[in-house]
Structure 1
């Protein structure tokens, strides 16, 4: 039977020891077991705490994580390391992530006022790091069952797609290309014949399907469902993910046009906050060969 996940992937999971951090731990253990890779479990203690308190918290966190991991890995053949570091959370995570292929985080908010001004830990890790970042939002009931990969036909979205197929080669996947074409609405308003506006939309969709087909062929990706729709990317992504019961959405965070603008900067971070399902965000800077 074909494995639903690739082998030998080094993972870093960072947890704040909250229930949502526990979800990230559970997903990390599931993925590490499936890939037979190495797992580093990280907790960061605030560097601004008084030294005696920080030392005590580091000891307590190390003991707690060791117990949690022993329970989660019972009966599994899994190599893991527990690390409790002192520093600023996102800085320590991005530094440790240099030796990992995926960073796994829970979707949590530690201090709401700080988050308003500088973003959540996940957003800051995505902003400052280059390692693909998986934000776990839902309970973990097993491997992912259905994946939605949003692309804009850019090089970065190609890398995101290849990385997703490398990690989950046998999981059903939809590749979504959203075309934001506001000029079609304007044309519909001024069209003498309503059919003319429909013809314009059909032409745009036909061209988009041809472009997506060429994009997939060039990437060497087969066995996925290509979907092209007109609309605004954030709305379209969530609608299509919900329609397909996708439990993971994969996004490239930089690109050229269309969804590229949506995935850049603060809007990409809104996707991490508001999509009610797990999100894997892939940035430029690394090559992920198709396997």
Structure 2
């Protein structure tokens, strides 16, 4: 399995698309197809159905109903056939987060792609506690597709709190999207009790962060040349959404390593707001030590 956490420059070889077969699932499907084509990667399309018997006893003379699993497989085959792309199809039943985690590990997936679902089962993946569970267990990036694809990602924001996890997210973004422009975005709250003399200005903080970037041997000259750094004062979950919308970003990247303040602010307390309403898609980069 390609380990995206080593930033070796390799592109994903196996992509897992998790879909709930809802009316909006075509957005994630289109993005997965485009990425698989660009990277020449194997594409696996998976859906999770409610647990239940495959065969149901019916009175003689009545047609046996199609099981949820067979119906889901047929629908997924139809969606893929319309796209003209070959993909492996997997249908599982049970807890969505557990099943998807199991598939990702078993199949050696390097990237998991999901859409903003609306079904009672997989829809809860992005609208409730299941999202946090999946994010916390995956050691490979999770791409949440919100918008209809309009081409490759070209304008990417990487959220940073100066933590190792944020730096991992930056390096992973550079490896996955070598032709994209990257904006490293840092938002910091000013403590209400802080004295003016103790406050670090945005300009000073930006200077310190630039020095950190230059000193990092993993930051190549090519990466530095396509990297911008923005520092603003305020709540990160509000500012990063506003910045992404104002600057027409098509992807925002967040590191989940350690589940620190940045991760909790964006994924934890405001999960529903960000995953449903954030401008552009969201890539959550996990860590190899999960």
**Residues 111 and 143, structure 2, Cα contact 8 Å, conserved in 1:** yes
Total equivalences in the alignment? 264
Q: 1:66 to 1:261 in 2, by over 3 A?
A: closer
Question: 2:89 & 2:68 partners in 1: Cα distance?
Answer: 14
1:226 aligns to what? 229
**Residues 253 and 282, structure 1, Cα contact 8 Å, conserved in 2:** yes
2:62 aligns to what? none
**Aligned-pair RMSD on alpha carbons?**
3.0
Residue by residue over 1:245-286, the C-alpha shift from the partner in whole angstroms, topping out at 9 and shown as x without a partner, is 001110112458663552464445653234232111112226
Please say if 1:153 is aligned against 2:162.
Answer: yes
Unaligned ranges ≥5, structure 1: 188-196
TM-score (norm 2): 0.79
**Counterpart pick for 1:66 among 39, 63, 77:** 77
**Residues 180 and 258, structure 1, Cα contact 8 Å, conserved in 2:** no
1:91 aligns to what? 98
Structure 1 residue 52: Cα displacement: 2.1
Please say if 1:276 is aligned against 2:273.
Answer: no
Q: Pick the structure with more helix per residue.
A: 1
Question: 1:121 & 1:215 partners in 2: Cα distance?
Answer: 36
Q: Secondary structure at the match of 1:175?
A: strand
Question: 2:205 & 2:104 partners in 1: Cα distance?
Answer: 36
**Counterpart pick for 1:108 among 112, 117, 126:** 117
Unaligned ranges ≥5, structure 2: 1-8, 57-64
TM-score (norm 1): 0.79
Q: 1:34 to 1:129 in 2, by over 3 A?
A: same
Residue by residue over 1:74-102, the C-alpha shift from the partner in whole angstroms, topping out at 9 and shown as x without a partner, is 5xxxx521111222222111111222111
Q: Secondary structure at the match of 2:162?
A: coil
Structure 1 residue 66: Cα displacement: 2.1
Q: Secondary structure at the match of 2:24?
A: helix
* More deviation, 250-259/277-286: 250-259
